[in-house]
Structure 1
């Protein structure tokens, strides 16, 4: 097939309309051109940023933070892109992989049940901003038992019972491929088996009623319970990061109003 409708393509650099101020929006004006097609989906945003105190001074080494959005970015990146992509294209955005008892929650989710859940644990002081600890070092803490319980139904049917100290964690590792739709497919994952045992211990649960991850399933309401036990006492306080995905429908009506139906 030979395309004859496009003669050329080019990128145009557009600066903000006004000076950047604290708390103010950053606005751009992109004029339309009747002779050209404008592909906003191929927009690149170039920023030079630095996190500082309100007065512009550098952050102290013990500055605390409780934001969880970076964990969403890290988990989505690790579970959706191949190692080659992360080690090449994503380094342009400064992405680099780090080298690096009992805990039951009765009402992890109450009401609408997510379709997809990822669990990871990090050092609490790293989570709150301790500079000499990595907040993305997902440690296994010698987990002995891990399972979700959805309205009396255990997921998985046989709970995870790894023994990381003796290298018994293949089932938990391969479940990442099953839950993300990579089973028996040529779709690599950026987490190797060695990574999973040392710094990238992410436990993935696919709660879809079918194996078709691309299909939209009906809404499931109820209670989701987490059962988690450790073989040895925790050496320090740990923070459990829970990443959940829900289905939603986006509609645009005749009046160009955008309606989002959150499941």
Structure 2
């Protein structure tokens, strides 16, 4: 089950974190994976890891905020069966202390970047008469999180874009869903703790982990397995849905 032989998958933000975990898993399941990332070194590192397991991967260094660059990259790939929009940035702050520059940066990557990839991929999938898209939303588009104004804005937009694409292209055979993770242990989390809590990383990691009722952060691989299911033929009846993967955060954290 959940095999992806003969499918071409494009994963943005695949140089690290959730995107990398998805790229590795998809390759193990037989897909030809196009590893899209702004960071050339990280991009190629993921490809090398996939190839070390005899998987098929191609590095595509691309800035998702640049529409023409995205179009050129996707046209070069030529065929896209699966798109996973995983590229994203975070920001901490409320509406008062979020600067215009910070707001624009989050918007450019998390909203416009997803839009650019959707626009480029949907036209190709429409011509093929089939395709699957999975967007990375967040629990932030389901509940109010403190000091996450710009980030919540961006993920709410991702959720809305998911519903819109699912509705507009259902008759063209294009499925579009999103998932809403809670905290996931990625290199970003480790970097954030090192920068903001030097010497207290372990203590703060435990504190953040316990904000999930399940008592820990998710692993990138756990998120990747949900994404695999939603992008597989076994999930062919699912479109226009948001799937929380949150350790009970939305329903049990009260």
TM > 0.5: no
Q: TM-score range by the shorter chain?
A: under 0.3
Please state which structure has a larger fraction of its residues in helix. 2
Q: Give TM-score, length-normalised by structure 2.
A: 0.23
Q: Give TM-score, length-normalised by structure 1.
A: 0.22
In our comparison, the structure showing a higher alpha carbon Rg is 1
